[in-house]
Amino acid sequence: MQGKRYDQRVLVLIEVRGGQRDWDEAERAFGERDWPVIDSSARGEGMSRGVLRADASARMYSVEVRFLGALNRRTGRAAVWEVQRLARVKRLEMYARHCEPMDRDRESLTAWWAHTTAHRPPRAPAPRPLAPMAKLRRAAAMARARFTERRGYHDTGTVVTGTASEARRLARMALPGGSAPAAATDARLAYRAAVPRREDDARRRLYRLGAWLLAMTFCAVVSRHEDGVEARVWAGAAVLCFFAGVVLMFGLSAAGSRASGFAAWSAAAAFALALGLGAGENRAWTPGQMLLVFAVLATAGGVWLLVRQWTWGEWLTWAVPLLFAAVASLVVSSGSVLHAMYADSLDLMPADLDVPAIWQAVSAVKLMVLLSSVLFVPALWGVAKHVHVPGVGPADRFRVPAYVVAQAMVLALCVSGVLDSVGAAVADFRAAAVRKAELPSYFGVEPEWTCIEPTVPAAKLGTRGGVLSPERPYVSFGEAGGTVSLWDEPAGKSVQVSAEQVRLVPVADGSVRCTFSYASLPKGD
């Protein structure tokens, strides 16, 4: 049976009190969680002799506790939380008395390809020196052989790792049960370990390098939008972040690859600056946009860390907000939530807006983006659990109420953001209508200034919501269901009229005066 996934291994001295039945239950619980028991003895005997006083009702276990999370100075405390959680679930009197994290990070070894050397020209006999032409031909043959070796034409398919001398000896070694390698075998470099340290340590340093890069970009963006002393301060902060990253990069690079590592990091920094500053003033990013990018990255990373630590308790903390966002944006938006709120703010019905399906889908995506902030709290929760922040352990009684309160506050902010988005669109529309200027669109809703020319006498003209005045333009939202929806700017309300009784004539803006006269209608009407 495959064991459970884990990141950290902590050697914990666990004391279990009670009796034989409790001890047997604790051993079964250790096995269920794939926690190896290294040793066990009565309290005051064996490993605890001379450390703890003897107690016949207690037994000591040296257990390797395994769990997910980061390796830091709080990892031992996280092991205590795991033991406390197990004690609470199994209803045992169990205590973690000594926790020692086990750092088993892996070394990054250089990889080599094994290849044959039979194609190389033979060496000249030592007593007889070669003639000049023979030396030239041999040098050309050796250069050709080296070139073909670097191209991989003579590789045997065997891969070895280690130093150069180890790689040559490993390439010539015969494995038990394998075929004997060729007598003339050498090794060529496949890739050099970028970090001579351990793998997890390198990954942590790379994360810090990325953080410095993002901080540098943010400071550069802010400096572009500031003036005077503030701009110079932010620019100086960007330079400091850059040099901090350079120092960290030199610590990451191997001795033989510092120049290439510096070039790669400089290229990444230049790309980040180009992304943050933009090629022109109109395309430059704003600090708010950069913060939004950081929030999205942090949310994605935090949710991933939370998902890795999957339990039914955590399932409620992230899946419920995610389901809320998905249902509210995809299921409810089949009735186009944003369009319905937009129409209601203008005294219209959702059916009065003939919105294409593609724009309804776009509005659903917009709604999902606005509601996706509900995942920010679960993301922070996932980060806190991964780095073992105090307050998220199973012994903390206030962690659930604090999470619920924080999630409720963020949910309220999300709903407020949706309302503000629709309110801003309606405010822009009303302001443009008052100025009689060009009208802004809203997810497929294209209002336009239109002269209304009735095709029936005024007595037969059926309107809803007001009286039609054909001598001035109205804002038209188009025809939907045989009805033309209009916005009467002076009255500040909507007017509906049958599409069969009017003819729509688009005009440039609201300052145009319409020339329609009922006298121009045929007498038969």
Q: What is the pLDDT of residues 142-182, one digit of tens each?
A: 888 788 877 777 788 788 888 888 888 888 887 787 666 66
**Confidence at residue 255, expressed as pLDDT on a 0 to 100 scale:** 37
Calculate Rg over the CA atoms of the chain. 37
Judge whether 447 and 429 are in contact, CB under 8 Å: yes
Q: Per-residue pLDDT for 262 more than 60?
A: no
Query: Which alpha helices (H) appear in 98-256, and where do they start and end?
Result: 132-150, 164-171, 199-224, 228-252
What's the rounded mean pLDDT across residues 288-297?
77
**Confidence at residue 247, expressed as pLDDT on a 0 to 100 scale:** 76
**Other beta carbons within 10 Å of 88:** 12
Residue 27 pLDDT grade (very low, low, confident, very high; cuts 50, 70, 90):
very high
Judge whether 196 and 229 are in contact, CB under 8 Å: no
Among the listed residues 356, 217, 323, the one whose alpha carbon sits nearest the alpha carbon of residue 275? 217
State which H helix or E strand residue 381 sits in.
helix 376-386
pLDDT tens string 360-408: 777 777 776 777 777 788 888 888 888 888 877 666 667 778 777 887 8
- Measure the CA–CA gap between 148 and 338, rounded to whole angstroms: 65
Assigned token pair, 8: 């950290």
**Confidence at residue 157, expressed as pLDDT on a 0 to 100 scale:** 76
Q: Per-residue pLDDT for 269 more than 70?
A: no
> Which amino acid is located at 67 in the chain?
F
Judge whether 348 and 336 are in contact, CB under 8 Å: no
> Which amino acid is located at 310 in the chain?
W
What's the rounded mean pLDDT across residues 228-249?
83
**Confidence at residue 524, expressed as pLDDT on a 0 to 100 scale:** 54
What number does CATH give the domain 8-102? 3.30.70.360
What's the rounded mean pLDDT across residues 221-233?
83
Question: Worst-scoring range by mean pLDDT, 100-109, 177-186, 433-442?
Answer: 177-186
Mode of pairing for the β-strands spanning 111-116 and 155-161: antiparallel
Q: Report residue 329: phi and psi, to 5°.
A: -95, -30
Q: Report residue 11: phi and psi, to 5°.
A: -85, 115
**Confidence at residue 254, expressed as pLDDT on a 0 to 100 scale:** 46
**Confidence at residue 315, expressed as pLDDT on a 0 to 100 scale:** 56
Can you tell me which residue has the tokens 């999205």?
296
Judge whether 283 and 276 are in contact, CB under 8 Å: no
pLDDT tens string 182-219: 667 788 877 655 444 566 777 777 778 778 888 888 88
- 457-496 as b/e, with b when 16 or more CB fall inside 10 Å? eeeebebebeebebebbbbbbbebeebbbbbbbeeeebbb
Residue of 327 and 382 predicted with greater confidence: 382
Alpha carbon of residue 319 to chain centroid: 16
pLDDT tens string 445-479: 888 888 888 888 777 777 777 777 777 888 888 78
Judge whether 337 and 350 are in contact, CB under 8 Å: no
pTM more than 0.75? no
**Other beta carbons within 10 Å of 8:** 22
Q: Per-residue pLDDT for 525 more than 50?
A: no
What's the rounded mean pLDDT across residues 349-358?
74
- Measure the CA–CA gap between 244 and 225, rounded to whole angstroms: 23
Assigned token pair, 193: 């370990």
Assigned token pair, 491: 């009255």
Judge whether 235 and 219 are in contact, CB under 8 Å: yes
- Measure the CA–CA gap between 294 and 284, rounded to whole angstroms: 16
Mode of pairing for the β-strands spanning 111-116 and 185-191: antiparallel
**Helix, strand counts (H, E) of the chain:** 13, 13
The ranges assigned to domains in the chain are: 8-102, 111-191, 199-285, 294-417, 448-520
- Measure the CA–CA gap between 35 and 4, rounded to whole angstroms: 10
Q: What is the DSSP string of 456-493?
A: S-GGG--EESS---TTS-EEEEEEETTEEEEEETTTTE
pLDDT > 70: what percent of the chain? 80
**Confidence at residue 323, expressed as pLDDT on a 0 to 100 scale:** 62
What's the rounded mean pLDDT across residues 116-135?
71
pLDDT > 90: what percent of the chain? 13
- Measure the CA–CA gap between 7 and 309, rounded to whole angstroms: 10
**Sign of the dihedral through C-alpha 28, 29, 32, 38:** negative
Sequence-distant (6+) residues with CB within 8 A of 227 are none
Name the β-bridge partners of 13. Answer: 62, 98
- 335-372 as b/e, with b when 16 or more CB fall inside 10 Å? ebbbbbbbbebbebebebbebeeebbbebbebbeebbb
What's the rounded mean pLDDT across residues 477-503?
81
